[in-house]
Amino acid sequence: MIKAVFQDNLTFLAFAIALTLAAGAIAYLVAARRMERAPAAFYGLWTSSTVGPVLLTTWSGSGILTYQCTINPNVTQAFTTTQGQLNVLLFAPFGLFAVLATRRALLSVGIGFLFTTIVETGQATLPFVSRLCDTDDLVTNSVGVLAGVAVGSVVDRGIRFGKPLSRPAVRRTVIGGTAATLLVAGVWTAAIDPVRAVLPTEAPTASPQQLHALNSALNKALGSGLAVSEANFHNNIEGSSTINAPLPGGYAELTWPDQEKLTVHFTPSSQGEGTYAYWIPGASRRVSTAEQAQQVATLYTQRHAAWALPDSQVKVWPVDAVDKNLGWVIERRRWRGKLLMPMRLDILIEPSGRLVDLIARNVDDPKTPPSKFGEQQAWQRFDSYHKIKSAQARREQPIYLAERRADEWRVHWRLTARYNGTVFSAIVDATTGAIHNAAALPEDAPLPGAQGIHAP
């Protein structure tokens, strides 16, 4: 389980264990100068149970500060996940050794709650941590502390090593804890934006036929190791319906009933949470350049998506021009002159060589009606519809492509322009000039599909 969680980062795990043991040993030596060895050992173990969780919960964040914390109203849901259960086990020793060291159960509970709150606050606000903050972790961590305190209280009655923490020491601890609590409360008030978790709505269960289709697509794309036992069916009246299923650390989606487009997403390793991106057997290896990422993607394509190789053009670009830790997108497209065909294979490879995103659309080049509206004519239709003065608008690069509408392949212009602080978009039928999917959004609003692999 440890290897699965840390995805081969065993060097860090060894460092964390060594540092945890060293901190405990130092605390023991310091305490042993003032008290007997047995209670001093509990202080050493308490220190280790503090340092260990801090290291593990601040390791390998995304590097992106969100200043947000997700509030999940379903409190019990956290205990149904592997991560939630591991959180309980991770923080239980803190409560256990806090009681055995101080022999003050209520004080240990208060310190434990403050400790878990500080950890979650740091995950949302410290740039060198940049982890996900949510109430699921806060609840499970706190329950772990409570469980440890409960066990410690029972053990304390039987062993009774040392003396309870003195009243002056308790008083100083309470004063310090109160100051820390006020500081944390101030950070939450001034810097953290609580975001209510959007709970999933019930979706119809996929039929055996649909489940078989999804597993067949996954088997072709990623091998037999990721078969799913259940899936949901989402009926989209305006477009293709989809079959959706969770995967370890991600999800899969297949369009229905055409079964043309498979989308797979895994959690990037950079996020440092749970299960990470998919290791491609026989292809994945660490990469540091776009060329190396393309080599991994080409090996994958040759073994799992050979249909994308004939007459396709390859384009590679970094997900982020500055942060190379996010990886590279390797795109395969096929063109008929200037017309983009629907065949599509997009792969996002992260520096570990693992696959993060996959969009596979195995479609033969369709027959399309003749185009009657060129680029300039399409822009004229666009400007007229949106009432834009073309001379003052900033036009994005148009996309000229074949795509299906109402079960018929058509040729379209996908157009976007920025005008007076608004982003306008629309699809113009290159045969009839009809306008579809017209939209206008504030220029600073996130555009649909602002994350992951995007292109029509």
Per-residue model confidence (pLDDT) at position 66: 65
Is residue 179 scored above 80 in pLDDT?
yes
Average pLDDT, the chain: 86
Distance CA 137, CA 143 (A): 10
- Helix H segments across 33-130? 37-57, 82-102, 105-125
Going by C-beta distance under 8 Å and a sequence separation of 6 or more, which residues neighbour residue 190? none
Is residue 441 scored above 90 in pLDDT?
no
- How do residues 330-360 score in pLDDT, each as one tens digit? 999 999 999 999 999 999 999 999 999 999 9
- How do residues 257-281 score in pLDDT, each as one tens digit? 889 999 999 988 877 655 678 889 8
Q: Is 79 helix (H, G, I), strand (E, B) or coil?
A: helix
Percent of the chain, pLDDT > 90?
54
pLDDT confidence tier of residue 64, bands split at 50, 70 and 90: low
Is residue 5 scored above 50 in pLDDT?
no
For residue 281, list its beta bridge partners. Answer: none
Distance of alpha carbon 219 from the chain centroid: 24
Two structure tokens written together for 440: 């206008």
Two structure tokens written together for 282: 């026989």
Going by C-beta distance under 8 Å and a sequence separation of 6 or more, which residues neighbour residue 334? 311, 312, 313, 340, 341, 343, 365
> Got the DSSP string for 261-272?
EEEEEE--GGG-
- At 280, the amino acid letter reads I
Is residue 101 scored above 50 in pLDDT?
yes
Going by C-beta distance under 8 Å and a sequence separation of 6 or more, which residues neighbour residue 448? none
CB 27 within 8 A of CB 47: yes
For residue 278, list its beta bridge partners. Answer: 355
Q: Is 399 helix (H, G, I), strand (E, B) or coil?
A: strand
Of the candidates 297, 330, 300, which has an alpha carbon nearest to the alpha carbon of residue 315? 330
CB 428 within 8 A of CB 382: yes
Q: 257: cis peptide before it, omega within 30°? A: yes
pLDDT confidence tier of residue 34, bands split at 50, 70 and 90: confident
Is residue 312 scored above 50 in pLDDT?
yes
Per-residue model confidence (pLDDT) at position 130: 55
| Whole-model pTM over 0.75 | no
For residue 70, list its beta bridge partners. Answer: 134, 195
CB 455 within 8 A of CB 340: no
Distance CA 371, CA 291 (A): 37
Going by C-beta distance under 8 Å and a sequence separation of 6 or more, which residues neighbour residue 341? 333, 334, 335, 363, 365, 366, 401, 402
Q: Is 364 helix (H, G, I), strand (E, B) or coil?
A: coil
Distance CA 197, CA 45 (A): 36
Mean predicted confidence (pLDDT) in 230-237: 84
Is residue 214 scored above 70 in pLDDT?
yes
Mean predicted confidence (pLDDT) in 155-173: 86
CB 329 within 8 A of CB 346: yes
Is the Cα dihedral 320, 326, 332, 333 positive or negative? Answer: negative
Phi, psi (deg, nearest 5) at residue 102: -95, -25
Distance CA 30, CA 210 (A): 64
Per-residue model confidence (pLDDT) at position 170: 93
Of the candidates 385, 418, 379, which has an alpha carbon nearest to the alpha carbon of residue 399? 379
CB 7 within 8 A of CB 269: yes
